[in-house]
Amino acid sequence: MIIAMFVGMFALGMLQSALGLGLSHDRQPELAYLVMAFDMSVGMAAWMRIRGHGWAPTLEMCAVMFLPVVPLFPLLWLGAIDGGVLMVVAHVAMFPLMLVAMLRRRDEHAGCAH
């Protein structure tokens, strides 16, 4: 699944750059993170649907890509963290949150529902 996330992030990121829609992580960290989370979600959702996962677990896993920034954006706006810290902390938090989502639907993610 992580490979699918990277494929989505890199493929859509390259497309956005080719179209002149690239974002600066330094100047626009909020928007840059949200676009990157969307790109990762597209790749992950495509792979999950190919693998036969239902829409509910797929959308839950996509929500996990966005969830870490909820508490981080206010810290960014207050100047307590910068865009680099936002990216690192959000990406580190993403993996345990993905595990929680998978454990929540253990049968689906363990291959028992396929």
3-state secondary structure of 79: coil
pTM over 0.75: yes
Q: pLDDT by residue for the chain (114 residues), tens digit each?
A: 788 888 888 888 888 878 887 776 778 889 888 998 999 999 999 999 999 999 999 999 999 999 999 899 999 999 999 999 999 999 899 989 999 988 988 877 776 554
Q: Quick one: which of 85, 99, 97, 104 has its CA closest to 29?
A: 85
pLDDT for 111: 65
What is the secondary structure of 45-61 as a DSSP string?
Answer: HHHHHHTT--HHHHHHH
